[in-house]
Structure 1
Amino acid sequence: MTKPLGFEKPLGMRDILPDSLVKQRHLERALRKCIEPWGYEEISTPSLEYYDTVGVASAIVTDRMFRLLDKQGHTVVLRPDMTTPIARVVSSLYKDVPLPIRLFYQANVFRAQEKEAGRNAEFFQTGIELIGDASEDADAEAIALAVFCLRAAGVATFRIAIGHVDFVEGLLEEEIADEEVKSQFRTFLYERDFVGYRQLLSSLELPGESKHRLESLLRLRGGKGKIDEARELTVNGKARRAVDTVASLWDALEAYGVTDDLLLDFNLISNLNYYTGVVFEGYAADLGSPLLGGGRYDHLAAQFGRPAPATGFAIKMDRLLLVTPEMDGPPPARVLLCYTAQRRREALAEAQLLREDGLVVVTRLIEQESDVTDSDKAVYAKIICMTQKEE
């Protein structure tokens, strides 16, 4: 007989207890307050989407999706991301809304995990999508807003790394003919396995100049000066155009005054294959995984019939909780108001008056004042007993 699951939860699912949820809601409010003045409007989409539309269009691989059959026999998925459903909305319900469109969301997404992965299968994100603007200024707006969001959340030390998918792709196309070898290089870069990258490079029979260029790629991480270094490694092709785009983007970001929180990383690539241009990731001190990720995805909306360039980012709220300070000030004072049945009406009216004054008031029916316990006295800042009827 199968052992009862009891208190166990499905793999990757978790409970969020009150203390953590209070802080998460506080951060969500802070992010909303930061995002809305930039002209972004909040959107909500269904948790369930059709696999044949949103599921197929999503960059999340099928193995990571929760798939089910509805009563009509259609395959549906728990949304694996928010970007793809928003692209569906922009092409359908918003098909007559002129571009550019600015939307933001605060929602949960779902990604199935392998048993040994130890990661959340459901997690919350706050993100923005700027759809219909192909300029470097749009990319700069998304990155600058990401900086201001992390500041508003109270992240003390962070950096947002900026790259371009075409730089790595262009350099590999110029130097490597074998597609399998290119894929190995991409994997090493995505996993930040520079030892493996160098070992693969040393095993290949390539001209010295080619090896120098591919080795130099690993050193293209830093400030504005890396733009000239990257340009020196390129010829007039895809990689050179990517460098020119990043140079224009940096000029726009300097106008926002946010470059102290940024760095360039020309070997940055993403595992999401819908990115078509600028990509970026945010890192906080003492956090080994990215806090946020984003970039340009110009081909997604076309899959829903309304071609439009787009850019955006998503902040991972569970990771944000780990790198932000606790909420300022003590929580509201908690008051226990006990009452007998004889004084119920009077006590409940008094409790409501106290709540309107900003106190947290818990009410309890008792038979006599001695029903109040020592544990109650430890939990509540004040205990009010309304037992005997006042003359």
Structure 2
Amino acid sequence: MFLPAGSQDEIGKRLISRSKAYEIFGNVTANRNYKQISTPVVEYATTFTNQYAGMELQNMLKWFNRDGEIEVLRPDWTTAIARALVNQHPSQLKWSYQGSVFRSDKAGMESRQAGVEIVHTSSFLGESECLLTAVNYLDELEINDYLIELGHTGIFDELTSHLNLTDSELEKLREAMHDKRRDEVYQIAITNGHEEVANELTQLVDAFGSIDVIEKYEDLWRDQEILLGILKHMKQLAVLLQELGVPDVLVDLGRVKNLPYYCGIMFRGFIRSNGNTCFSGGRYDKLYEQFDESISAVGLAFDVDVLADNLIIENDRQKICIVASEQSHAFAEKLRTSFDNAIVDIQYNLTDEDRFDKVLEVIEEHNEYKVVER
């Protein structure tokens, strides 16, 4: 049978790698005192499309239920967990999850994630714990060829607050910044504001690199208290990562939020060899306002599919085949238990001996079974 566009069957190595990635994630988060949480794969669309979450219904896999309400396959873990945590006691601060999200605007439709959410915690502590959990996890996966990037929504928000922009114009400017379209950034800003801000925003498009970028802008923004505070906060996180041995910490002062509910620090992890994003996250305090709550919240999600593709699975277990028959199958099954830490398969007719390190055959002599090696 054919599959819908974006769906696919999977076999073999990638499934093994993904299972290993999930297993190690569970161990890492348990050791760091996270509590597991899971939400239903089917939710009401309004959980994600309200003004606080701000996600687009058109990108979700959806249908009408029998009451005429729109239900969707979970498109986002953070929003779903925020809904669930409103009913949890605030004494538990750290939560972890594993599972899929479903989006029609992404290749494959189903994306496997593992992530953490930290609530009711001071900003620096929560953000540090997110990032250090990521470092811990990548280390345990033996993925060393990565870099971490820091950004902050407050820089764009502060600079654009001086412009006379409609919501539509502000969104166009954000998209232009996101796509690094310098000319469009300048044109939108100069048409609706003044030249100084237009120039600052345009220069921010290229304001990414090492921690030296922060030090450069500390001088440029020395008279702007809010922006200096943001730079100080970003620098503190970058220094923490460097002190713990993360070799490459980048900053992108021109980065804008790609999810509507981000409202502060943002971070991403990249696999250096191919540029793939292996995790992303950030602060999202405002998401809880839809529940009339004021809660400090920050989290990140790992792309388990990307991680699985970068895992090295070394299988040094011996592969043994026992060639038996219907009559000798019980004997062969008992024999299997005598091989510790080996992969043992029982077959009746072996056609490809090269797949195994050792092939044993059960034969009958004098009404007794014995084993010979081929």
Q: TM-score, normalised by structure 1?
A: 0.83
User: Offset of 1:105 from its aligned partner?
Assistant: 1.2
Q: Which amino acid aligns with 2:180?
A: R
For 1:212 and 1:218, locate their aligned partners in 2 and report how far apart those are by CA, in whole Å. Answer: 10
User: Which of residues 327, 349, 352 is equivalent to 2:313?
Assistant: 327
**1:30-49 correspondence runs (5 A):** 30-49=24-43
Residues 249 and 274 of structure 1, relative CA distance in 2, 3 Å threshold: same
Instruction: State the match for 2:304 in structure 1.
Output: 317
Listed as ranges, the gaps of 5+ residues in structure 2 are: 370-374
For 1:49 and 1:207, locate their aligned partners in 2 and report how far apart those are by CA, in whole Å. Answer: 45
Residues 313 and 35 of structure 1, relative CA distance in 2, 3 Å threshold: same
Instruction: State the match for 2:368 in structure 1.
Output: 390
Q: Does 1:346 align with 2:348?
A: no
**1:18-57 correspondence runs (5 A):** 18-53=12-47, 56=50
Higher mean C-alpha deviation, range 206-215 or range 101-110:
206-215
Q: Which amino acid aligns with 2:350?
A: V
Deviations 1:39-72 (A, max 9, x none): 1122222111122335546443211111123455
User: Offset of 1:252 from its aligned partner?
Assistant: 4.7
Q: Could you tell me whether the CA contact under 8 Å between 2:94 and 2:117 is conserved in 1?
A: yes
**1:86-105 correspondence runs (5 A):** 86-92=81-87, 94=88, 97-99=89-91, 101-105=93-97
Listed as ranges, the gaps of 5+ residues in structure 1 are: 1-5
Alignment partner of 1:275: what SS?
coil
Alignment partner of 2:269: what SS?
strand
Q: Could you tell me whether the CA contact under 8 Å between 1:162 and 1:278 is conserved in 2?
A: yes
Q: Which amino acid aligns with 1:383?
A: V
Q: Does 1:9 align with 2:3?
A: yes
Alignment partner of 2:10: what SS?
coil
Residues 151 and 195 of structure 1, relative CA distance in 2, 3 Å threshold: farther
For 1:214 and 1:55, locate their aligned partners in 2 and report how far apart those are by CA, in whole Å. Answer: 29
Q: TM-score, normalised by structure 2?
A: 0.86
Q: Could you tell me whether the CA contact under 8 Å between 1:217 and 1:266 is conserved in 2?
A: yes
Residues 59 and 252 of structure 1, relative CA distance in 2, 3 Å threshold: farther
Q: Which amino acid aligns with 1:163?
A: G
Instruction: State the match for 1:3 in structure 2.
Output: none
Instruction: State the match for 1:125 in structure 2.
Output: 113
For 1:153 and 1:246, locate their aligned partners in 2 and report how far apart those are by CA, in whole Å. Answer: 27
Q: Could you tell me whether the CA contact under 8 Å between 1:58 and 1:81 is conserved in 2?
A: no
Identical columns (%): 22
Q: Which amino acid aligns with 2:326?
A: A
Alignment partner of 1:130: what SS?
strand
For 2:240 and 2:273, locate their aligned partners in 1 and report how far apart those are by CA, in whole Å. Answer: 29
Alignment partner of 2:161: what SS?
helix
Q: Which amino acid aligns with 1:36?
A: A
Deviations 1:239-265 (A, max 9, x none): 4443343244445545x5255331221
Q: Could you tell me whether the CA contact under 8 Å between 1:45 and 1:86 is conserved in 2?
A: yes
For 2:312 and 2:110, locate their aligned partners in 1 and report how far apart those are by CA, in whole Å. Answer: 23
User: Offset of 1:267 from its aligned partner?
Assistant: 0.8
Instruction: State the match for 1:210 in structure 2.
Output: 197
Q: Which amino acid aligns with 1:372?
A: L
Instruction: State the match for 1:66 in structure 2.
Output: 61
Instruction: State the match for 2:321 in structure 1.
Output: 336
Q: Could you tell me whether the CA contact under 8 Å between 1:168 and 1:239 is conserved in 2?
A: no
Q: Could you tell me whether the CA contact under 8 Å between 1:55 and 1:77 is conserved in 2?
A: no
Alignment partner of 1:150: what SS?
helix
Instruction: State the match for 1:108 in structure 2.
Output: 100
Instruction: State the match for 2:262 in structure 1.
Output: 275
For 1:179 and 1:250, locate their aligned partners in 2 and report how far apart those are by CA, in whole Å. Answer: 33
Aligned-residue Cα RMSD (Å) equals: 2.8
Give the length in aligned residue pairs. Answer: 365
Q: Could you tell me whether the CA contact under 8 Å between 1:147 and 1:258 is conserved in 2?
A: no
For 2:8 and 2:236, locate their aligned partners in 1 and report how far apart those are by CA, in whole Å. Answer: 43
User: Offset of 1:378 from its aligned partner?
Assistant: 2.2
Alignment partner of 1:291: what SS?
strand
